[in-house]
Amino acid sequence: MTAGLLLDLLLALAVLGTAAWTLAARSQFAAVIGFVVTGLLLTLVWVRLGAVDVALTEAAIGAGATGVILLYVVARLRGGEAEISAATPSRAQRALAALLALSVGGALAYGVLSLPDPAPSLAEAALAGTAPLGLGNPVSAVLMAHRGLDTLLEAIVLVFAVLAVWSMAADHRWGGRPGPVFQREEHGPLSLLARILPPVGIVIGIYIAWVGADSPGGKFQGGTILAAMWVLPWIAGLVRPPSVTDWRLRLMIAIGPLTFLAVGLAGFVVAEGFLAYPPGFAKPLILLIEAAMTLSVAAALACLIAGPPERRRRA
């Protein structure tokens, strides 16, 4: 057995083990930790699959940002034991659920192992379309050009998600700053981290967003790091987030999709159609969209992490 095969086997077992442990964990807190560990192991799996762009996204969003919002809810949710045990399915129902899960998993395994070989691939076509755009990272080329519509819609989904989360605010709290009130911490590890980390993290976030044109990285990965650097001082109480009615915050969230849409519509005039780039001028336009989208992703993710406003207008 080669070392690579052994590593894959160990990773597979570790992922399944932590995932099963996540379900079995007694406390919700432990379940969230199990989920985050599973996510970090998945990052390694993505590297093994040769998908470094996805590995970065999984680490930043799948494990990191999702873990933060899960922990935040766990800290505030106090479910009654009686209610939970009354609502838990009976032993027979759970056995049926296990049967369902095993059949679905088994059918998937059968399907994925009997896929045609050699597999159909768009790698060649995607690579051929990458160079004319002036990009070096074929994944970014797919995101920004070949499947640009998907990415545009996804950018709009983020804006709608922020709107939906904000609309969960109680009426009398509308217009406040997003998220709960955090006590200002002058000393301690959180305060230290919130002062030292952002200057470094902001540079790394911008770098990862910038380098995405030619290497693994991009607006979503970089934007998530920037969001984390914004949320950290909020949680430490060092700075306060802008109010949900602040037009600058709203502009930040909307500027990315709006830029994307504007460039897409301009494609009707200067290129072949919607979301098409004029030949020779593709890279500057893509960089413009990427820059605006990085800002919007950072602002939207920070607002999604913070949650709806939880204090009055005059806090």
| Inter-axis angle of helices 189-211 and 219-235, nearest 10 | 160
Q: Quick check: 237 and 185 in contact, CB under 8 A?
A: yes
Closer residue to other proteins, CB minimum distance, 73 or 239: 73
Closer residue to other proteins, CB minimum distance, 220 or 259: 220
Closer residue to other proteins, CB minimum distance, 162 or 236: 162
The owner of tokens 């830029």 is 259
- Separation between Cα atoms, residue 277 and residue 300, nearest integer Å: 26
- Min separation Cβ 29 and other proteins, Å: 11
Q: Quick check: 211 and 217 in contact, CB under 8 A?
A: yes
**β-sheet bridge partners, residue 179:** 309
- Separation between Cα atoms, residue 244 and residue 313, nearest integer Å: 10
Closer residue to other proteins, CB minimum distance, 52 or 238: 52
Site map 279..308 versus other proteins, x via CB under 8 A = ------------------x---x--xx-xx
- Min separation Cβ 230 and other proteins, Å: 15
Query: What are the distances in angstroms from CA 220 to CA 39, 138, 146, 230?
Result: 17, 16, 17, 15
Q: Work out whether 234 is an interface residue with other proteins (CB under 8 A).
A: no
Binding to other proteins (CB under 8 A): which residues in 149-188? 150-151, 154, 157-158, 161, 164-165, 168
- 263 token code pair: 């460039």
Binding to other proteins (CB under 8 A): which residues in 22-81? 22-23, 28, 31-32, 35, 38-39, 42, 45-46, 48-51, 53-54, 57-58, 61-62, 65-66, 69-70, 72-74, 76-80
- Separation between Cα atoms, residue 152 and residue 255, nearest integer Å: 12
- Separation between Cα atoms, residue 240 and residue 178, nearest integer Å: 9
Closer residue to other proteins, CB minimum distance, 180 or 237: 180
Binding to other proteins (CB under 8 A): which residues in 207-226? 218, 220
Near other proteins by CB under 8 A: residue from 122, 131, 192, 200: 122
